[in-house]
Amino acid sequence: MRFTLEELADVAPGRAVEVRVPPDGAVQVVEGPRHTRGTPPNVVETDPTTWLELVTGATTWSDAVAAGRVSASGERADLSRLLPLQAARPR
């Protein structure tokens, strides 16, 4: 789980969106305004099974959001352009 979150941070560096996969980890990604205190304005949260399905391409972002398996708030919280993760993706 941690590796996939670290990979996302490599693909989309920044601190504008907090991606949470409790209880396994969280990471801040995507360029833009960063938050410094309290709950960030852009948050993505999901369970470990759904996260692994998203990063491997077993499910799509839109399907997971529509099914309520992903909570995404904020204007920068759409990660559809970043998922699934691909090791060969240009950086």
Angle of CA points 14, 11, 90, to nearest 5°: 135
The residue-averaged pLDDT of 75-88 equals 88
pLDDT level of residue 74 (50, 70, 90 thresholds): very high
Q: Is 27 helix (H, G, I), strand (E, B) or coil?
A: strand
pLDDT confidence tier of residue 33, bands split at 50, 70 and 90: confident
How far apart CA 48 and CA 56 sit, in angstroms, is: 12
Say yes or no to pLDDT of 89 above 90. no
d(CA 8, CA 69): 19
- Whole-number pLDDT of residue 56: 93
Q: How far apart are CA 3 and CA 65, in angstroms?
A: 23
Mean pLDDT of the chain: 91
Closest CA to 32 of 70, 65, 78: 78
